[in-house]
Amino acid sequence: MITFHIPDMTCGSCASAIARAVAKVDEHARLEVSIGQKLLSVQSAATESELAKAIQEAGYAPAKLTASAPRPAPASGGCCGGARKAASTSGAQAALAGRSSCCG
C-alpha cells in the first residue's frame, strides 16, 4: 500500500476528486482516506509515479510517506472543525469517499 500526504486535500469534495483521478489510473484501486490527517493510502496495480501523476493532474500536491516518516498531526480548526474522517472504498465507491463533509 502506498500512502501519500496531500496537504491541499481539505474536504470531502477534494477527496472525491482525488478518488476519481486514481480510478482513471486503476478502477480497482482500494483507497483509505483521512481528510483530517490529509492522508491517502492506495492499494493498486498502478505504480507510485502513475498515482502521483494522476493526483497532480487533478490539481493536488501528493507527497509519498515513507515507513520512517512521521505522520502529520491531525488538523485543528478549518471548515470541519478538525474532525477526522476516514473511509475505506474501492472502485466507483471511491468517488463518494468523504461526502459527509460540510464542504462536499
* The pLDDT of residue 22 is above 80: yes
Q: What is the pLDDT of residues 61-94, one digit of tens each?
A: 999 987 544 555 555 555 554 444 444 444 544 4
pTM of the model: 0.64
Q: What's the pLDDT band for 12 if we cut at 50, 70, 90?
A: very high
CA distance 64 to 67: 10
Q: What's the whole-number mean pLDDT along residues 9-30?
A: 96
CATH architecture assignment, domain 2-69+78-93: 2-Layer Sandwich (3.30)
